[in-house]
Structures are given as C-alpha cells and as structure tokens.
Amino acid sequence: MTALWTSAEIAEATGGTVSAPFEVTGVTFDSREVEPGFLFVAMPGTVADGHDFIGKALGLGAAAALVSRPVDCPHVLVPDVPAALEALARAARARMTGIVLGLTGSVGKTSTKEALAAALERRHRGKVHRSVKSYNNHTGVPLSLARMPRDSVYGVFEMGMNHAGEIRALTAMVRPHVALVTAIAPAHIENLGSMEAIADAKGEIFEGLEPGGTAIIPNDTPYRDRLLKKARRHAETILTFGSGDAEIHAVHAVRADNGGSLVTARLQGSDLTYTIAQPGEHWVSNSLAVLAAVEAAGADLAAAGLALGDMGGLKGRGERHHVPVRGGTALLIDESYNANPASMAATLRSLGEEPVEGRRLAVLGTMLELGDHSDEAHAGLAPAIREAKVAEVILVGEAMRPLLEALGADVPAVLVPDAAAATDALWQRLGPGDAVLVKGSNGIGLAKLVSQVAGGAATCST
C-alpha cells in the first residue's frame, strides 16, 4: 500500500522532530479507530489525554504517534498536537491536485455529502476522498484532510458550526473549488440569535473558495439573496438549485415504484432523468444540489444519476429496518442522528407518503439548541404530524411538552423522559404492518432505541 505519509513529510509539515523513520497508511485521534499502519494523533482533551491511549493504539497496530511529549515508540514530537494536526491538514490540501468540494447547511449536509461522494465515485472508484461520519468541526475537518490520499481526484468535505466564525476557519483549510450550502434552518439558533445570523455563518464557506470557484446556493430559502450577496464577493460562478427560477431545478418529480422519486432535472446544458432511492421531497432537493456540484466539478452527470438510484439509507439518516413483531414485520425508519424544525417536517411528510398496511407511528425526540425559540418550534410540528396521518406519537424529553399540548386530542401522544422509556413505549404499540419514524437531536440518544428495536432486523435500502 502506498504510504499516506512518511515521517519526513509529517515532520516537514508540522515542524516536529522524528524519533525514527516510519511510514503510515492512515490517521486517527480515536484509539477505537486504529488499524495496522495508522498514525495515532495524541490529542489533548478536557476529560482524557490522547497520550494515555498510545499503548492501546500500538496494541491495535499503530505504526507511530504524533505527540507533544517523548514516548517509547516511533513518533513525531511537536509543541502543540492540535496545531500540528491542522498543519498536516494544510499540507494534505497543498499536495491535492484534484477538485475539492466543500459543503455546509442546517439540513441535509451529511446526507448530501455522502450522495455527492457516491456520485463522483461512480466514475472514479477509489479516487474520491470524503470526510467520514460527521467529522465536520475544528478537529474533524483537519483530520479528514490529513487522511486524504495524495492521488485523490476529488475531495468532499463537510463543514459544520454552532457559532459565527467557525466555518470561516474551516473553509480556509479546505479551500474548495466548489462550495455548497444545502439549506438554512433554525439549527443552533440558541447560539446565533437569528435566522439571518445563521445564513451569514453558513455563507462563510464562500470565503475559502479558490480563484475561479463556484458557489451553489438553495433557491428555496428566504435567505437566498443574502447568500447570493456573500457569494458574489468570492465566487466566479454562482448556481442556484431548487424550484422556481433556479438554474438547477426539477422539471417534474413523481413517486417511484421503489418508494423514492423519479425526477427529470434541468441542468445548465441538458436535462437528466434519474431515480432517487431515498423517499421524500427533501431528497429531490438534495439530489439537485448534488447534480449542481457534479456539474460544477466537471464530473459525469449520467454516472451521478445512476449513483442516486443505488444509494441506500445512511445510519441515523434514513436507514430502514424490517422489525419482526408478533408474527409480522414493521418498518422502522432511522432518522435518529439529528433534528431541527425543517428536517422534522420533511421526514414527517415522507412518513405520510409511506404506504402502510398498519399504522404510522412516530418517536420524536427534543430538538436541541433552539434557545428561546424552543417552545414555539416544538409546538409548530403539530400540523406536520396531523398532515402525515400519524396514528400515535411518542414524545421524548420535557421540551416536547408544548407539542403534546398543541396536538391536544387530535393525535394520541405520550410524553416520556428518555430513550429507554421511549423504547418500552414503542414495543407496547408497534404491530405488524406499522411504519415508525424515529427522529430527534443526537443528544437525546434515540440511536439506542433504534439499536434495541432493530436488533438483528434486516436492513433494506429503500
């Protein structure tokens, strides 16, 4: 295997001192992710220090460590490990000769990132690097960059934030040729104070654009013009996606036999008809964003369309499980990773379109970081629940009480304190032919409910 980094390259990038020559094939700061040949980055922490896990990393096959104090193993010694990781990230970006795409947004950024990477991978197998999981913050982005193979044709990087200025720092490292904003919604409004401030924070991604770069903006947002104004200062080309007068828009979109959508999209130079494996109107929008980015990168649009048709659900973001219950099966839709008002409404609409033999149920967890807007935002989900014809709702967390009150007698609902109680409540209600949506902010822990209920259940892609 070609070395990802040599000890000399790491030392040159970080200004560190090498204990002995070595080569590494991967990079991680999580000892649970170590594989043979990896560089273990001993990050400091408020609870634990990465240096304390070097022995474990070596036992799992780590070839060397990046450290701030001498250790008895191959290493590069630096004054500041986080700063060294950022320096290694910048070195990885500097040696990248392909196309780099960056994306952010309040809703759909991880799903869109995965779909975009799959679309590019279709024609360039093994040559597309992407940030994994939701490694999109001040440590995750430099790690993702440091992991990028030197011969990558494309790099796809997700950037997140919960305060102003965070994306500005991340995009300066990523330096994308194409920068995409998926959507603007009241996520992190507790910290940012207003929707306008959220849009401004997301628009920071355009500041890192390479000369001649392309900005891609959602057309279906009240903050479109605000984003356009920001993009004009940094982008040579601006594309909008969505409905209305968007450059990239759906001529028509109908439900497909597989539960997803059949879409004909109008692009800049042609029309493309394709299917989307994932159900829901929000995935039509995601797919248009993907196609806009693929076109901006000069990649193969037909291959991208095929990839969208093959893409299965992501864990916590639409993965679907068939759960055995009392002589039959129920469908569990796992949207447990994160939630905000926009994504809640979108997935509830998808649930309402789901053909069922039994009932539609929903387990909805508290949406975090809404601050003073929390009560209004939670209560505001009531119309979407009614329109989706949800037969019964399990609400998780005291912050869901305004929604319980807003539903009144229209929809049977129960309020429970945590994921464990929600699991018990769901087992009591789930029957053959039912479809249940599980969604909430990650901190509520509904992934545990999914794990326990799905158990050994079969997973399906659509």
Coil vs helix vs strand at 75: strand
Coil vs helix vs strand at 389: coil
Q: What is the CA radius of gyration of the chain?
A: 23
Two structure tokens written together for 421: 């109680």
243 is in an annotated binding site: no
Two structure tokens written together for 211: 């000369």
269 is in an annotated binding site: no
107 is in an annotated binding site: yes
144 is in an annotated binding site: no
Summarize the chain as % helix, strand, coil (round to 5).
40, 25, 35
β-bridge mates for residue 334, sequence order: 319, 438
The rounded Cα 456 to chain-centroid distance in angstroms is 25
Judge whether 287 and 214 are in contact, CB under 8 Å: no
273 is in an annotated binding site: no
CA distance 271 to 249: 10
Between strands 328-335 and 360-365, the pairing is: unpaired
Give backbone dihedrals phi and psi of 392, rounded to 5 degrees, phi first.
-160, 145
CA distance 293 to 301: 10
Judge whether 211 and 177 are in contact, CB under 8 Å: no
Residues 427, 431, 433: CA angle, nearest 5 degrees: 140
109 is in an annotated binding site: yes
108 is in an annotated binding site: yes
Count CB atoms within 10 A of the CB of residue 455: 10
Known binding positions:
105-111
Known binding positions for ATP:
105-111
